[in-house]
Structure 1
Amino acid sequence: MKSFLVTALALAGTAQATVQGFDISHYQSSVNFAAAYSAGARFVIIKATEGTTYTDPSFSSHYTGATNAGFIRGGYHFAHPDSSTGAAQADYFLAHGGGWSGDGITLPGMLDLESVSGSATCFGLSTTAMVAWIKSFSDRYHTKTGRYPMLYTNPSWWTTCTGNSNAFVSTNPLVLARYASVPGTIPGGWPYQTIWQNSDSYTYGGDSDIFNGAMAGLTNLATG
């Protein structure tokens, strides 16, 4: 993974190419994958699980649709650090669609780290406990797949809930959520974002995501 990060950083430094993608869940009950592909999108990140009890009812159909349309695709897990260990949630994610294989079309799983309405700030965890929880999830995922998961977050959450930890810079690709015209300041010591969620609205459903590099880099991310 570290070699990939260095390579991608070199690509990012030239600030030349990007690849359009998007992320979806059951809130997008139907998606015209063929039209999205024709419009230039090349990857899809699909909600698979939350905690250790919830599976997204549209995951299977979305995953099949994305695959059949020729997309690079992968699953994501919505974190609930207040309900069980990171390792337990990684196991649940892996058992319900969150796996990875170096086939060139499967992205490493993504851990969605953000606030939940009605939950305590940072799920009631201290910054030290939160970093440990994320590491538990990440390490278990790595042990089972040989890859570290991508980490999705926004600067405010990461700063408040992890103390702006830089513990994952050399292992986990960053998926940065910031709805703006530019990525802005990158949290956590990451030198750049691997994927930028730049809008909560995409023409063909879900949120707009932009891979920071050319298609070859995206394929490399799905290869290992």
Structure 2
Amino acid sequence: MHVNRRLQPVLAALLAALVTLALAVVIPFSPTSRTGASAQNAPGIVQGVDVAGHQRPGGAPIDWRTVSGPGGQEFAFVKASEGEGWKNEFYDEDARAAADAGLKVGAYHYARPAENPVTQAQYFASVINSGPALSLPPVLDLEVDEGLSPTALAAWTDTFLKEVERSTGTAPMIYTYRYFWSERMDNTSAFTGYPLWLAAYQNQAPRPVGGWDKISFWQRSDSGRIAGMNTPVDLNVFNGSSADLDRFAGGNYSAGGGVLETFQVPESGELGVLEQDNTALVVAILGLATGILGSPQIADAAAQFGFSEEDAANIAGAVNNLASQGELPVEDLRTMMLGEYSVGDLLILLNNAQK
């Protein structure tokens, strides 16, 4: 949008005032370091992880037997592929080792909607068909639109899912997050025949989106710490009992439900930070995008939400890098500012903008 130069000082003053006002109404939160949510924060429910190459720094293996030890994880999703021809070099090793350790295992594909859905689906299928046997459905990880309209993206998604099922013989599952599905998929209810895995970094399980009556899996943190892994990892819970997970793995995708709908994770400071309304931080980031504010102000805004000094600096650095590369998702940020979205939703958006 073109802005008349004579209006720029007025807009600058207005945005600065918005930043001041927004930060003033942020609920005070004791500073905390996001050292990672503990898996023990969710006792009595079926827990699992999802991993990619990030969990293998320097190629160091994951100790999957410790991961699945007493009171540990019961399932794992391993990143298999991305786009039309990229494969996670650790996929086969981790999928096999996790299964050997007694976990139920699934694989996921990070979608690149700017590329052909059939080619991607066939490549994903070729990776998992030639790899270790899986007990959980293949997953479409849908977090970026790459310029497609909601209608075009829904068509892309439909083509991908149908081709994966044709090529693997198994109906897939969808992974996404609330902001993306609500805004970039126009909250379509066209895919409720597939199980839903929803990311939401908060203490209470999220409500379903897009017409689903329940979520099957909930990714509740992106910075968990568990025995057997030397890096932070995504933490997930299944919406059901271990017996329900057995039935789900057997192809009964309606198994489970009723657990997460009433479940409250014991309060976690980290997740409390992430579940706050993100308006103040979004306004500050937009201030950087327009040249009104700089990285120090972004870090200050993040610190007021309860992020540690290190994490606040990391957020500011990521935003600055995106802005300098012209990759800051400004339109998404403006939409977020007008909606009811959390800090966790914002961080997922920024994380995907860096990919």
TM-score bracket for the superposition, by shorter chain length = 0.7 to 0.9
CA apart distance, 1:159: 1.1
**Secondary structure of residue in 1 paired with 2:220:** strand
The aligned amino acid for 2:198 is L
How many Å separate the matches in 2 of 1:26 and 1:164?
A: 31
| Structure with more helix by fraction | 2
Aligned to 1:219: 246
1:113 aligns with 2:138: no
Contact 1:100 1:106 in 2 (8 A): no
C-alpha contact (below 8 Å) 1:194/1:211 kept by paired residues? yes
Structure 1 residues 91 and 161 mapped into 2: Cα distance closer, same or farther (>3 Å)? same
How far apart are the structure 1 equivalents of 2:205 and 2:142?
18
Match of residue 149 from structure 1 = 172
Once the two structures are superposed, what CA deviation does each residue of 1:2-54 show, in whole Å capped at 9, x if it has no partner? xxxxxxxxxxxxxxx73100000111113221111113211000000001120
Unmatched segments (≥5 aa) in structure 2: 1-43, 252-355
- TM-score of the two chains, using structure 1 as the length reference: 0.83
Identify which of 52, 55, 69 aligns with 1:25.
52
Which structure's relative contact order is higher, taking Cα pairs within 8 Å and 6+ residues apart?
Answer: 1
Give 1:190's aligned residue. Answer: 212
2:83 to 45, 51, 66: 51
Which structure 1 segments of 5+ residues have no match?
A: 1-16, 116-121
Aligned match of 1:200: 222
Calculate the aligned-residue CA RMSD, in Å: 1.9
* Greater Cα radius of gyration, structure 1 or 2: 2
- Residues paired across the two proteins, number: 198
Q: Equivalent residues in 2 for 1:76-155 (5 A)?
A: 76-84=108-116, 86-97=117-128, 106-115=135-144, 122-155=145-178
| Cα shift at 1:128 | 0.6
Question: Could you list the runs of 4 or more consecutive aligned residues of structure 1 that deviate by over 4 angstroms after TM superposition?
Answer: 98-101
Q: Which has the higher strand share?
A: 1
| Conservation of the 8 A alpha-carbon contact between 1:152 and 1:177 | yes
Distance 1:138 1:145 in 2: 11
Identity %: 34
Q: After superposition, give the CA deviation of every residue in 1:61-106 in whole Å (9 maximum; x if it has no partner).
A: 111210111110011000001021x2221110010126899x8x61
